Amino acid sequence: MKTPPMMSRVPLWVLIFLLAACSENPPESKEGDTSATVVSTDGNREEGGKPTASVTDPTPIPDDDLPTPVSAWSYHHLRGKIKDLAITMELCRLPAAYEADGYRYQGYYRYDRVGGPIAVYGSVDSAGWLVLYETAQWQGGQPFFRGEWSADEWRGKWTSGDGQRTYNFVLTKTESDGSLAFVTRSIMDTFLLKPQWSTSPQATYQIDWVEPQADSNALNRFLQREILRGLVGDSLANRHGSLEGALVADKRAYFQEYRDEMIRLIKEGLIDTVDMDLFHSFSYEQTSAVFIYCNSPEILTLGYQYYYFTGGAHGNYATSIVTYDLPARRVITLNEVLAPGFEPILSVALEQAVRRKYGLTEQAPLSEVLFDDVIAPNENFGLTEKGIFFVYPPYEIAPYAAGEIELYVPFTDIAQVVQPRWLERS
């Protein structure tokens, strides 16, 4: 089975679960075959209901460069307090034409004393206030922030999920705490299979990334290489010396595979071109984005999110997490953080994290929310200053409806298997 176009960049563990989630196998295409049979749109049909085909020249893959990268989104590192509890937030402001101010907001915050990332998302409401909801709660209402967003700060009130507690918060945008500054970049391009058709199927390619602005040129070069690897995979990153070259190759490969697949579907009569309104079902999408989980003086934790839609009820996605040791300029491995034999102790801690997240009693089986009654760590982990978290993509341990599951374990909960360097930080 051939992997979907984008999947060459995805880490193996992510690839396994995304492929398992596919509703149908991607088609085989012959290497070097760029010929096409395009079905006519005159309404003629063969016996059995298949459209009559006529051979025409398909739209070629454009041999061009990338669209000019734009700063269509922004990243903000904020610090402050909810009541008297210090928190840090990594927040992205992303374009969204359907929102009141043209943007949606997505990110993570953590209590500095505890360290676990809590996902937040939201938008500006009709009164002009920024509202962010927490995704940490499984049952009951969602805790949320609501306040006035300005050039330098965000202030307002935080409300608990049950609505019984409301505290003031003030968060200030800062780069003076040793965190890294980043410039945001985006590109988007579209390939129309038949531009002369008003409802032509199309493939959309989009990448959102960050460029580090550290004082150290060596650190900037290291992170630029790593971010390139995270976006397009080791193979493309190693073959191309620049981000632009790698993205051009990645985009063209995706468009070519999309084109080949559409040609096959048309040849086999699976796309009915008599009713071109149906073409919307054959518009595919591939998106990659970089999100910041933790931005501190010594460690940077990034999430590389991959999303693709190839028809069906919904798209599939997964996030690959990587933590970088900034002073040493290298990727941190799990064995550097945890001592040999950590698995049983960590599994117990992850079980407790599931119970807290989903409100399960000690007697309730984990299978009330997960596939199984046990949970093991995977290879997809990230660090904050105070602990470790694991991210499980849809279908790995729970149904698609459960979404991506993030489980955080403070170092103090597994102190007996945490390497001294990390335990001292907590």
Q: Give the pLDDT score at 293.
A: 97
pLDDT band at 273 (very low <50, low <70, confident <90, very high): low
Instruction: Please check the confidence at residue 24 and state whether its pLDDT lies above 90.
Output: no
Mean pLDDT confidence for 140-149? 91
| pLDDT > 70 in the chain, percent | 81
Q: What global pTM score does this model have?
A: 0.84
Lowest mean pLDDT of 12-16, 87-91, 171-175, 376-380, name the range: 12-16
Mean pLDDT confidence for 373-386? 96
More confident residue, 232 or 55: 232
Instruction: Please check the confidence at residue 380 and state whether its pLDDT lies above 60.
Output: yes
More confident residue, 199 or 331: 331
Q: Give the pLDDT score at 9.
A: 52
3-class secondary structure for the chain? CCCCHHHHHCCHHHHHHHHHHCCCCCCCCCCCCCCCCEECCCCCECCCCCECEECCCCCCCCCCCCCCCECCCEEEEEEEEECCEEEEEEEEEEECCCCCCCEEEEEEEEECCCCCCEEEEEEECCCCCEEEEECCCCCCCCCEEEEEECCCEEEEEEECCCCCCEEEEEEEECCCCCCCCEEEEEEEEEEECCCCCCCCCEEEEEEEEEEECCCCHHHHHHHHHHHHHHHHCHHHHHHCCCHHHHHHHHHHHHHHHHHHHHHHHHHCCCCCCCCHHHHHHHCEEEEEEEEEEEECCCEEEEEEEEEEECCCCCCEEEEEEEEEECCCCEECCHHHHECCCCHHHHHHHHHHHHHHHHCCCCCCCHHHCCCCCCCCCCCCEEECCCEEEEEECCCCCCCHHHCCEEEEEEHHHHHHHECHHHHHHC
Report pLDDT digits (tens) over 67-86.
666 667 899 999 999 999 99
Q: Give the pLDDT score at 394.
A: 92
Q: Give the pLDDT score at 312.
A: 75
Q: Give the pLDDT score at 418.
A: 97
Instruction: Please check the confidence at residue 36 and state whether its pLDDT lies above 90.
Output: no
Taking the C-alpha atoms of residue 325 and residue 331, their distance in angstroms, rounded to an integer, is 6
Q: Give the pLDDT score at 324.
A: 98
Q: Give the pLDDT score at 153.
A: 95
pLDDT band at 201 (very low <50, low <70, confident <90, very high): confident
Average pLDDT over the chain reads: 83
Spatial CA neighbour of 133 closest among 148, 147, 116, 119: 119
More confident residue, 308 or 59: 308
Instruction: Please check the confidence at residue 6 and state whether its pLDDT lies above 60.
Output: no
Instruction: Please check the confidence at residue 27 and state whether its pLDDT lies above 80.
Output: no
Highest mean pLDDT among 15-19, 116-120, 198-202: 116-120
More confident residue, 53 or 295: 295
3-class secondary structure for 142-191? CCEEEEEECCCEEEEEEECCCCCCEEEEEEEECCCCCCCCEEEEEEEEEE
pLDDT band at 301 (very low <50, low <70, confident <90, very high): very high
Domains with residue ranges and CATH for the chain:
74-173 (2.40.128.120), 178-332 (3.30.565.40), 335-425 (3.90.640.20)
Report pLDDT digits (tens) over 323-370.
999 999 999 999 999 999 999 999 999 999 999 988 899 999 999 999
Lowest mean pLDDT of 19-28, 122-131, 340-349, name the range: 19-28
For the chain, the C-alpha Rg in angstroms (whole number) is: 24
Instruction: Please check the confidence at residue 39 and state whether its pLDDT lies above 50.
Output: no
Instruction: Please check the confidence at residue 56 and state whether its pLDDT lies above 90.
Output: no
Q: Give the pLDDT score at 53.
A: 35
Mean pLDDT confidence for 21-47? 37
Side-by-side strand order, sheet with 182-192: 182-192, 202-212, 284-295, 299-309, 316-325, 330-331
**Four-residue CA torsion sign, 278, 280, 283, 287:** negative
- Tokens found for residue 29: 């295409």
Report pLDDT digits (tens) over 242-256.
888 899 899 999 999
Instruction: Please check the confidence at residue 204 and state whether its pLDDT lies above 90.
Output: yes
Instruction: Please check the confidence at residue 11 and state whether its pLDDT lies above 70.
Output: no
Lowest mean pLDDT of 57-66, 191-200, 282-291, 374-383, name the range: 57-66
Spatial CA neighbour of 323 closest among 394, 226, 413, 210: 226
Taking the C-alpha atoms of residue 352 and residue 170, their distance in angstroms, rounded to an integer, is 31
Instruction: Please check the confidence at residue 3 and state whether its pLDDT lies above 60.
Output: no
Q: Give the pLDDT score at 151.
A: 87
More confident residue, 87 or 310: 87
Q: Give the pLDDT score at 251.
A: 92
